[in-house]
Amino acid sequence: MATVKFTFEDPNLEPVTVDNAEAGETILDVAEDNGVHLNHNCGEVCACSTCHVYVLSGENHLPEISDREEDFIDRAINPTIESRLGCQCVLENLKPDTVIEVKIPDQSQIIGHEH
């Protein structure tokens, strides 16, 4: 298991720490399972950019970014070098002390479905 720390661009949201993230789950899965709002319009198949997140640390516990994911990140709002799609960030190589820090962009800027 690992710890995933979610912070938010929206200043009205408090950080959320999840201590039970398991290998094989995605960042999007961890968010959904723990009440953290993250849009995801395409059904987690890497066909949109609505689950865009910033991975601030712990990227060595995620697969390398694919060309397809990179193409969709280019369509996200304010992409940076830390940008990933939550649906493509599958947790791997976890140790008990693994910490992954993720910042979620302001979801009010995302045109999409509420999940």
The residue among 4, 16, 2, 106 whose CA lies nearest residue 55 is: 4
Give per-residue pLDDT as tens, 21-78: 999 999 999 999 999 999 998 888 888 999 999 999 999 999 999 999 999 999 999 9
What are 64-89's pLDDT values in tens digits?
A: 999 999 999 999 999 999 999 999 99
pLDDT tens sequence across 82-110: 999 999 999 999 998 999 999 999 988 77
Residue 93: predicted pLDDT: 93
Cβ burial of 73 (10 Å; 0-12, 13-18, 19+) is: middle
Residue whose C-alpha is closest to residue 62's, from 33, 32, 86: 86
Residue 115 has pLDDT above 60, yes or no: no
Helices (runs of H) and strands (runs of E) counted in the chain? 2, 5
For the cut 60, the answer to whether the pLDDT of residue 113 exceeds it is no
Domains, the chain, in order of start with CATH, read: 2-109 (3.10.20.30)
pLDDT category, 111, cuts 50, 70, 90?
low
